[in-house]
Amino acid sequence: MESQRKNYGKALVELGRTRKDVVVLDADLSGSTRTAEFGKTFPDRFFNCGIAEQNMMGTAAGLAVGGMTVFASTFAVFATGRAYDQVRQSIAYPDLDVKIVASHAGITVGGDGASHQTMEDIALMNAIPNMTVIVPADGPETYRAVLAVAEARGPAYIRMGRSDVPIITSKDDVFSIGKASTLREGNDVALVGVGQMVAPCLLAAEGLKAKGINARVINLSTIKPLDVETLEKAARDCGCVVTAEEHNIVSGVGTMVAAALAERYPTPMERVAMQDVFGQSGESDELMREYGLSEKEVIAAAIKVTERRK
Amino acid sequence: MRRHVIEMVHAAGSGHPGGSLSSADIVTALFFEVMEHSPELESSQDRDHFILSKGHAAPVYYAALAESGYFPVEELITLRQLHSRLQGHPSRVKTPGVEMSTGSLGQGLSVANGLALALRSQGLGRTVYCLCGDGEMAEGQVWEAAMFASHYHLDNVIAIVDRNGLQIDGRTEDVMALEPLGDKWRAFGWNVLFMDGNDMWQVLETLEEARRHKGSPTVIIARTVKGKGVSFMENNVGFHGKAPNDKEYEQAMRELGGSA
Ligand SMILES: Cc1ncc(C[n+]2csc(CCOP(=O)(O)OP(=O)(O)O)c2C)c(N)n1
Ligand SMILES: [Mg+2]
């Protein structure tokens, strides 16, 4: 188990060494987002903006206009919500090299409660043209995704959680933006997991095996651009699909997968997601169970959807 | 009040003691002396109002609400637990007595302005108190609200800045310098008062002076000590958002004159 943000911190320091054009901004949360390590190592290329997320995004845009590659970090709810218009107008529209890497996304924020638990950040970022949207499944994948967006041109959003998550990808995997990875083969149902829901999908696949259902597990770590080829192939091979995400069901990843499949290969689907309600305070795992975001619901959805299988 | 804060945060294993302790005297003065309010009056607009713009200081707010009878004092230790009415940050829909949901910094003063306008247009001579953090002053919306309040002569708004000098990443003057803070508010058309926010007599006097002032909104810049009352939390940025462990809890309770 390890946190995604710890890996973000490591990747930033590595980038700082190899790339003189990389600068990092934060908004009074550098300990939490783990940009602090970069700040200590490269104080000349780190700027704390204070509790002023909108100004941070605008400043990031200016730095990018000036030729820098910018990483801007805060909690996901503020990066995508508070500063939405600055991200849209000053970063995405002018197509600038700003990478928004936000932590504490989703219900797993825990005790802070609904004000801090964004369940709509993927929808918001996804709806903006030019924006690449990435939700890594674990720490090592976060590390690789950060390096990958640094290499790619243009704006990107990387979503990270607060809590420690199991390591399910390997250091030797290659991260290519826009490419989903298949973690487990199977032809009875495709479980498409996003971020912290990929690990429960793997557990669910084990549970389903005992019931004679052979599940394919896909780690959909890039939401945009969506890997429609991998999704269509999974739909054709398996005949039914379950999506699982720590995000609102409205305009969530399940919606996007359903839309893509509807056009290419209409397939029975179930979506495991937050049911359009605000969260509350509690422990991360408690909340995941409370809002139906665990392996149990993935299994139930898989059984239900296989009954409608093509 | 301070013992409640320590007990709640310790029981929850997380939460924000530092900014709760720095503002404990201010919140106590407001809820038990200055504001006219009660659970019976909650559904009426004809009472004084309080908005905790620095929503992370929820523990001290809940302590004041419980001691004012909005919900049982025994409920305080359910802070942050699943299904508790006491959320990590104040929730208007979950907690009796909570005027406004907050937690995203910088938004409270705008809401206070709107509420003050509503009261004024209903002919109610009531006051809206809004407690803000000093780190929070970096949010642009605070200054949009500052401009608005003086433009509309909202003398029924009293903003209080908990000037404890610390935010999360360090001292406010190192992270994003605020001074001269009084001059900034003055330039925005506000009546500016200063007080020692941990000296109860000064707090009461200054709040009274603010209430008497007419013609423009008043801001009180309250010099405080973050973590006030618990030696190892005082001026310690590490206890902004961290609960004390069992040993620290016992020491804190002893220092506050209670038993663990
Ligand atoms: C818009 C927004 N950005 C960031 C945060 C995270 N955060 C919570 S408390 C805090 C520091 C607050 O410092 P200050 O306003 O000085 O409060 P105090 O010292 O009174 O606790 C931050 C950055 C937040 N709650 N809201
Ligand atoms: Mg402060």
Q: How many CB pairs under 8 A join A and B?
A: 93
Q: Could you tell me which residues are beta bridge partners of residue B51? A: B130
Domain B2-255 has CATH 3.40.50.970: yes
Q: Which residues on chain A are in Cβ contact (under 8 Å) with B89? A: 112-113, 115-116
Q: Ligand 1 centroid to A176 CA: how many Å?
A: 36
Report domain extents, chain A: 4-159, 181-306
Q: A34: nearest CA in chain B? A: B169
Token pair, residue B103, equals 């937690």
Dihedral of alpha carbons A81, A87, A89, A90, sign: positive
Instruction: Check B167 against A55: CB less than 8 A apart.
Output: no
Q: Could you tell me which residues are beta bridge partners of residue A165? A: A2
Euclidean distance between CA atoms B227 and A71, whole angstroms: 33
Q: Could you tell me which residues are beta bridge partners of residue B220? A: B160, B193
Q: Ligand 1 centroid to A51 CA: how many Å?
A: 7
- What pLDDT, on the 0 to 100 scale, is given for residue B43? 95
Report domain extents, chain B: 2-255
Considering chain A, what is the average pLDDT of its residues? Answer: 98
Band the pLDDT of A163: cuts 50, 70, 90: very high
Architecture of domain A181-306: 3-Layer(aba) Sandwich (3.40)
| Among A105, A217, A198, CA closest to A157 | A105
DSSP B2-46: HHHHHHHHHHHT-S-HHHHHHTHHHHHHIIIII----GGGTT-SS
B15, B82, B138 member nearest A52 (Cβ): B138
- What pLDDT, on the 0 to 100 scale, is given for residue B37? 98
> Which residue among B23, B167, B221, B225 is best mutated to probe the pocket of ligand 1, counting the most ligand atoms within 8 A of its Cβ?
B167
Residue range A59-69: mean pLDDT, rounded: 98
* Residues of chain B with a CB closer than 8 angstroms to some CB in chain A: 12-15, 55, 79-84, 86-89, 91, 94, 101-106, 135-136, 138-140, 167-169, 175-176
What is the distance in angstroms between the Cα of A32 and the nearest Cα belonging to chain B? 10
Residue range A52-62: mean pLDDT, rounded: 98
Q: Which residues on chain A are in Cβ contact (under 8 Å) with B104? A: 77-78, 81-82, 115
Token pair, residue B60, equals 């001290």
What is the distance in angstroms between the Cα of B176 and the nearest Cα belonging to chain A? 5
Catalytic residues of A: 53
B13, B81, B136 member nearest A51 (Cβ): B136
> Which residue among B14, B87, B101, B136 is best mutated to probe the pocket of ligand 1, counting the most ligand atoms within 8 A of its Cβ?
B136
Q: Which residues contact B88 (CB under 8 A, 6 or more apart)?
A: A111, A112, A113, A115, A116, A281, B14, B15, B56, B58, B79, B80, B103
| Among B198, B29, B51, B220, CA closest to B127 | B51
pLDDT surpassing 80 at residue A244? yes
Token pair, residue A113, equals 């409660």
**Chain B neighbours among A 232-261 (CB < 8 Å)?**
none
Q: Could you tell me which residues are beta bridge partners of residue B129? A: B50, B158
- Angle subtended by helix axes B2-12 and B58-67, to nearest 10: 120
Q: Identify the burial level of A171 via C-beta atoms within 10 angstroms of its C-beta, where 0-12 means exposed, 13-18 middle and 19 or more buried.
A: exposed
- What pLDDT, on the 0 to 100 scale, is given for residue A103? 98
What is the distance in angstroms between the Cα of B136 and the nearest Cα belonging to chain A? 6
pLDDT, tens digit only, all 260 positions of chain B: 999 999 999 999 999 999 999 999 999 999 999 999 999 999 999 999 999 999 999 999 999 999 999 999 999 999 999 999 999 999 999 999 999 999 999 999 999 999 999 999 999 999 999 999 999 999 999 999 999 999 999 999 999 999 999 999 999 999 999 999 999 999 999 999 999 999 999 999 999 999 999 999 999 999 999 999 999 999 999 999 999 999 999 999 999 998 87
Token pair, residue B38, equals 């009660």
B197 CA to centre of own chain: 11
Q: What is the dihedral of CA B113, B119, B125, B128, to 10 degrees?
A: -40
Q: Identify the burial level of A102 via C-beta atoms within 10 angstroms of its C-beta, where 0-12 means exposed, 13-18 middle and 19 or more buried.
A: buried
Instruction: Check A31 against B168: CB less than 8 A apart.
Output: yes
Q: Which residues contact A45 (CB under 8 A, 6 or more apart)?
A: A16, A22, A23, A24, A38
Instruction: Check B88 against A111: CB less than 8 A apart.
Output: yes
Euclidean distance between CA atoms B192 and B219, whole angstroms: 5
Q: Could you tell me which residues are beta bridge partners of residue B35? A: none
Amino acid at A109: V
Q: Is the CB of A82 under 6 A from ligand 1?
A: yes
B89, B101, B138 member nearest A51 (Cβ): B138
* Cβ atoms < 10 Å from Cβ of B82: 15
Q: B86: nearest CA in chain A? A: A281
Instruction: Check A112 against B101: CB less than 8 A apart.
Output: no
Q: What fold is seen in the domain A4-159?
A: Rossmann fold (3.40.50)
- What pLDDT, on the 0 to 100 scale, is given for residue A310? 81
Token pair, residue B166, equals 């610390």
Q: Which residues on chain B are in Cβ contact (under 8 Å) with A26? A: 169
Q: B58: nearest CA in chain A? A: A112
Q: Ligand 1 centroid to B136 CA: how many Å?
A: 6
pLDDT surpassing 90 at residue A170? no
B83, B89, B176 member nearest A116 (Cβ): B89
Instruction: Check B135 against A28: CB less than 8 A apart.
Output: yes
Helices (H), ranges, A182-246: 198-210, 228-238
Token pair, residue A39, equals 């700040």
Token pair, residue A182, equals 């298949």
pLDDT surpassing 90 at residue A292? yes
- What pLDDT, on the 0 to 100 scale, is given for residue A86? 98
Chain B touched by A289 (CB under 8 Å):
no
* Cβ atoms < 10 Å from Cβ of B41: 12
pLDDT surpassing 80 at residue A171? no
